[in-house]
Structure 1
Amino acid sequence: MRIVPVPYDHPDAVKLIAEVQQVYVERYGGEDATPMSPADFDPPQGVFLVGYQGEEAVACGAWRAHDGPEPEFQPGDAEFKRMYVADSARGRGFARLILSELERTAALCGRKRAVLETGTKQPEAIALYTSSGYTEIPKFGVYRNEPESRCFGKDLTEG
């Protein structure tokens, strides 16, 4: 898989975002309502990555910088969003490749910790994150009071 940074509103990003939003509708009954702007993902304060298999966009993930206030965010945080792999490309390790590239680019931009929110109806995502060294952290964001929400973090300065 070839991983390319693209603008948040790039056609391939828009297509994959629509697909992941449909997954949220199917699993939770509605789209992710977290406020986001395309500018949130402009380098060096963020990035949106698309993974291509041949010419087909099959995976994506993004991060955006946060610098407080605590307790939700700490200075140097990178919030990961829109992790997704299309059905046709699952089971090939693409999610792990996107996650690794998000961590790498966030660390290169001076981010110290990766944070993300997922839900209990996404056990494959939870398995990916925990097997990649993420640990549960206090809930943040618009879903902080939702019982199905889980938040994870990982130090990007180690290793």
Structure 2
Amino acid sequence: MNDTIKIVRTTSENLDFVHLIAVLDKSLWERYPELKANYWGNNILELNPNVIVIYKDNKAVGCGCFKKYDTNAIEIKRMFVSPEARGMGLAQTVLQELELWALDSGFTFSVLETLSKQKEAIALYQKSGYEIVENYEPYVGLSNSICMRKKI
């Protein structure tokens, strides 16, 4: 592989992460305009010390982060790979790096939420060992949400 891939552990103040999240939000609102009111509050970019940005040839092309969910679990948030970098396994790389970081931090489980139309994301998570579970707060009662869990 001639492409240079670099994985960086950073924070939510990283400008490349901020840019990728803006692109992610724009794409989500274009794809799901009817959900914006229900989900907007769940996607506020809060200060987060557990962010991964992945670079291909020195260009930020993917990201993800996690936050503490409970004593034993983290919640995966803001997973995104830019369209031009999809199909290269970068999302799986980001996910694995987040899980390793969480494991090193003493967590044993990972949870996440995605939308039912995100077929590629659901397939990625299932391939990575996540199982669909009942929706957890704040997604209880939101029929478009798919919640998943994995022992890491």
TM-score clears 0.5: yes
Matched, 1:9 2:9: no
AA paired with 1:14? V
Equivalent residues in 2 for 1:66-81 (5 A)?
A: 66-67=69-70, 75-81=71-77
Instruction: Give unmatched runs, 5+ long, in structure 2.
Output: none
Equivalent residues in 2 for 1:42-57 (5 A)?
A: 42=49, 47-57=50-60
Q: How many residues are paired up?
A: 144
2:130 is matched with which residue: 134, 155, 159?
134
Q: Deviations over 1:71-100 (max 9, x none)?
A: xxxx21100001000011001000010011
- What displacement does 1:35 show? 5.8
1:22 is matched with which residue: 14, 23, 26?
26
- What displacement does 1:132 show? 0.8
- What displacement does 1:146 show? 1.2
Give distance in 2, aligned partners of 1:37 and 1:87.
21
Q: Return the TM-score normalized by structure 1.
A: 0.85
Give distance in 1, aligned partners of 2:17 and 2:43.
17
**SS of corresponding position for 1:34:** helix
Give distance in 1, aligned partners of 2:137 and 2:8.
28
- What displacement does 1:37 show? 5.4
> Identity over aligned residues, as a percent?
36
RMSD of aligned residue pairs (Cα, Å):
1.5
2:68 is matched with which residue: 65, 68, 87?
65
Give distance in 1, aligned partners of 2:72 and 2:6.
28
Q: Which aligned segments of 4 or more residues in structure 1 are displaced greater than 2 angstroms?
A: 30-33, 35-39, 141-144
- What displacement does 1:33 show? 2.5
**SS of corresponding position for 2:138:** helix
- What displacement does 1:66 show? 2.1
AA paired with 2:41? A
Q: Return the TM-score normalized by structure 2.
A: 0.88
